[in-house]
Amino acid sequence: MIGKKNIINLIKINNRTTILELSVKCNVTRLTIIRDLKKLRKLKIIKRIGSDKTGYWKISKA
């Protein structure tokens, strides 16, 4: 994982951030972000509210 705190901090700044934006800011591929987000979801740290296009991220616990 590239750094769950890094992803969480970026989501705290902008909860409507996209996978592409996260990948650019973290300097990794989209697939790496997708994999890390999946891990964070599995750990119930973050949750996606709404659709992929118009939804937002909610941080459950940090």
pLDDT tens digits along 25-47? 999 999 999 999 999 999 999 99
User: What total number of domains does the chain contain?
Assistant: 1
How far CA 9 is from CA of 46, 58, 60, in Å, comes to 12, 12, 13
Is the pLDDT at 1 greater than 80? The verdict is no
Which residue is it, tokens 């705290």?
12
Mean pLDDT over 34-61 rounds to 93
Separation CA 55–CA 28 (nearest Å): 23
For residue 47, what is the domain's CATH number? 1.10.10.10
Q: Domain of residue 28: give its range.
A: 4-59
Residue 2: the pLDDT is: 64
% of the chain beyond a pLDDT of 70: 95
What pTM value is reported for the model? Answer: 0.87
